[in-house]
């Protein structure tokens, strides 16, 4: 990487400022090792580094809703489309290549996140963040042809290890989440059925039962949006 580490920090702050204008933030980064199978960067060679882009809480929601009012013709996967457009515009400004969690073939976003932020999965499969709890997401990433300054994540207590009773495993009326994994069919059938109104209107009951990160909990309308996307037959 050309420039000093100070230059790297200033450069990343500019990226952070550009993302913040849309309610997004940098969710850590990492430099790929020489023997790692990295995806192509802007120059179509294996990328040297990645910065993860995501959210904490529902900060992007007002920006997304404004965009949605301006782009009513986008009916399929609107949040994914908005995220792609925003992150691509930032990538173009800073010489990066934008990628998305929904790209095919799928990229190892969860593995990158665990390395970049030192996180571990919760019993629900969502990564548990020490501050945000389960109320965060990764919307995309920026790939670079050069190494970047990265902050080594500090080792933190995995909140799920210290959680007594695991309420996130006991709230679902059809026990869709268990030690055996996620029963997608049971969950979908319940959410679509006559007894699934609480889930449709307020989001996953197991996720909402988690006591951590309550200050970042998505509002009911945001959770209803995500649940509607999950339950959509298309």
**Residues 81-123: tens digit of each pLDDT:** 999 999 999 999 999 999 999 999 999 999 999 999 999 999 9
Weakest mean pLDDT among 8-17, 32-41, 112-121? 8-17
What are the CA-CA distances from residue 162 to residues 61, 74, 158 (Å)?
31, 43, 7
Give the model's confidence band at 10: pLDDT under 50 very low, under 70 low, under 90 confident, else very high: confident
pLDDT greater than 60 at residue 161: yes
Percent of the chain with pLDDT over 90: 86
Evaluate if residue 151 carries a pLDDT over 90: no
Q: Can you give the pLDDT at residue 220?
A: 96
Residue 48 exposed, middle or buried by CB count within 10 Å (0-12, 13-18, 19+): middle
Residue 2 — pLDDT band, cuts 50, 70, 90? very low
Q: What is the pTM of this model?
A: 0.93
**Rounded distance between C-alpha atoms, residue 24 and residue 38, angstroms:** 24
- What rounded mean pLDDT belongs to the chain? 93
- pLDDT for position 4: 42
């Amino acid at each position: 990487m050309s420039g000093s580490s100070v230059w790297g920090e200033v450069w990343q702050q500019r990226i952070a400022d550009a993302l913040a204008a849309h309610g997004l933030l940098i969710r850590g980064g990492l430099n790929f090792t020489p023997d790692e199978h990295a995806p192509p960067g802007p120059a179509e060679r294996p990328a040297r580094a990645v910065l993860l882009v995501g959210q904490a809480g529902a900060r992007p929601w007002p920006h997304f809703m404004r965009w949605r009012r301006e782009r009513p013709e986008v009916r399929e996967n609107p949040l994914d489309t908005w995220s792609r457009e925003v992150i691509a515009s930032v990538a173009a400004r800073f010489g990066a290549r934008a990628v998305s969690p929904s790209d095919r073939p799928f990229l190892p976003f969860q593995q990158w996140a665990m390395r970049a932020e030192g996180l571990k999965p919760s019993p629900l499969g969502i990564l548990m963040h020490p501050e945000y709890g389960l109320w965060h997401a990764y919307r995309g990433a920026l790939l670079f042809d050069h190494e970047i300054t990265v902050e080594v994540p500090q080792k933190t207590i995995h909140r799920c290890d210290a959680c007594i009773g695991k309420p996130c495993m006991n709230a679902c009326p059809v026990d869709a989440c268990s030690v055996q994994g996620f029963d997608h069919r049971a969950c979908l059938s319940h959410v679509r059925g006559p007894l699934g109104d609480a889930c449709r209107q307020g989001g996953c009951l197991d996720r909402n039962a988690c006591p951590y990160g309550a200050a970042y909990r998505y509002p009911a309308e945001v959770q209803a949006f995500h649940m509607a996307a999950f339950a959509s037959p298309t």
